[in-house]
Amino acid sequence: MVALQHEPSGRDRILGAARDLFAAHGFHQTSMAELAAAAKVSVGQIYRLFKGKEDIIDAIVANDTRDREAMILALQRRLDAGEISIERTFELLLLEMMDNPHEALSFDILAEGFRNERVAQIIADMCAHFRKSLGDFATIANPALSGKALEGAEEIILACMFGLGHRSLSGSALSAECTARQAADMLVAALRAMS
Amino acid sequence: MVALQHEPSGRDRILGAARDLFAAHGFHQTSMAELAAAAKVSVGQIYRLFKGKEDIIDAIVANDTRDREAMILALQRRLDAGEISIERTFELLLLEMMDNPHEALSFDILAEGFRNERVAQIIADMCAHFRKSLGDFATIANPALSGKALEGAEEIILACMFGLGHRSLSGSALSAECTARQAADMLVAALRAMS
């Protein structure tokens, strides 16, 4: 029973250390020995919990996906309850996307998505999930949207979320708050103008 | 003189092979020996032309930047000459961005931007250059735009370009043509609605 009680904390420590090391040096440039040292566990313990580095990346992506889905669902609930406007919903969504302390890791993960079928599948599933919620948001902004117009709108909101969520290399002078507010207003105006 | 005549073609062969290998296996997982074999040159020849792998990445990013800047300038000239509308300008711009055969490499390069100051600088310079042209496009859509509203518009168009340029992992069912047309219309509507 002791092992069972300790496993979750060992697992979380490994995932936390992996996130930091992968972000700083890259996924492929981090060895299991470095990871074990940073997580204060043995290499053997890592291999008891994960099949290998790819399995750790899978777990990180799955965690991030769960967090983001929960964030979107929480926004959707507040929107449905009439607590926040559709503009404010997009604004908060974009602010969450821009609050990305591990952008470098996120690029490594995306690159990995092209070389690792499982990671690609997790990313595609996450996007499909996002798209459903974004479609709901888009039809709240413009109830007339349907079919290809709605699909396109979902895709473009997703692109905007993704682009703004990876803006730190572009060297923008504008604050995240200002950008999110303006992008939200632009999205709602664009959605309302669609037929 | 023979060496001088051969150098450009050796250089191009190395860059072409590097692009393919880095895209397939990742930047850090490709060795100079593999690169030399694929480019049909000696490792020594690579080192006569490039200081190391980072220098090759620099050259790839610089080439891509030059190509993209030329593409945007060509669009700007056609727009200024009245050959294409502002909607069509955005549509063609987004289509060019979506035609990205090396998405995996592009993510590796972006991750490298967080770990390599020179790559970060090239990316930031490219974005600053883009932003200037995008600002011109935005004010053609809406001549009243200026100050922070214009800066925000540039940033959001850039995010949209970037997001749509990396859409293949998101598993969209919509064609690039359809997405570009709709995104262009949405951008123009959003820009016109801004005060």
Preferred mutation among A156, A164, A192 to probe B, highest tally of B CBs within 10 A: A156
CB neighbour burial string for A111-149, b if at least 16 within 10 angstroms, e if fewer:
bbbbebeebbebbbebbeebbebbbebbbbbbeebeeeb
The verdict on a CB contact (< 8 Å) between B108 and A103 is no
CB proximity A160 to B under 8 Å = yes
Q: What is the pLDDT of residue B4?
A: 52
Q: What is the pLDDT of residue B1?
A: 45
Q: Which amino acid is at B192?
A: R
DSSP string, A35-63: HHHHHTS-HHHHHHH-SSHHHHHHHHHHH
Residue B178: closest CA among chain A residues belongs to which residue? A152
Q: What is the pLDDT of residue A26?
A: 85
Distance from CA of B52 to the nearest CA of A (A): 17
CB proximity A33 to B under 8 Å = no
Preferred mutation among A30, A54, A134, A155 to probe B, highest tally of B CBs within 10 A: A155
List, in order of start, the domains of chain A with CATH numbers: 1-50 (1.10.10.60), 53-193 (1.10.357.10)
**Residue B34 near residue B13, CB atoms below 8 Å:** no
Other CB atoms within a 10 A radius of the CB of residue B191 amount to 26
The verdict on a CB contact (< 8 Å) between B124 and A164 is no
Q: What is the pLDDT of residue A4?
A: 53
Collect the ranges in chain A with pLDDT lower than 50: 1-3, 6
Q: What is the pLDDT of residue A1?
A: 45
Q: What is the pLDDT of residue B94?
A: 96
CB proximity A189 to B under 8 Å = yes
DSSP string, B168-195: GGGT--S-HHHHHHHHHHHHHHHHHH--
Q: What is the pLDDT of residue B100?
A: 79
* Residue A167: CA count within 13 A, CB half-sphere: 31
Q: What is the pLDDT of residue B106?
A: 87
**Residue B107 near residue A110, CB atoms below 8 Å:** yes
Query: Could you tell me which of B140, B13, B127 has the C-alpha nearest to residue B79?
Result: B140
For tokens 């470098």, the residue is: A104
Q: What is the pLDDT of residue A167?
A: 87
CB neighbour burial string for B91-113, b if at least 16 within 10 angstroms, e if fewer:
bbbbbbbbebebbbbbbbbbbbb
One digit per residue, pLDDT tens: chain B, 195 residues? Answer: 444 554 557 899 999 999 999 988 888 889 999 999 999 999 999 999 999 988 999 899 889 889 999 999 999 999 999 999 999 999 999 999 998 777 888 888 888 888 888 889 988 998 998 999 999 999 999 999 999 999 999 999 999 999 998 888 888 889 999 999 999 999 999 999 987
CB proximity B180 to A under 8 Å = no
ipTM score assigned to the predicted complex: 0.87
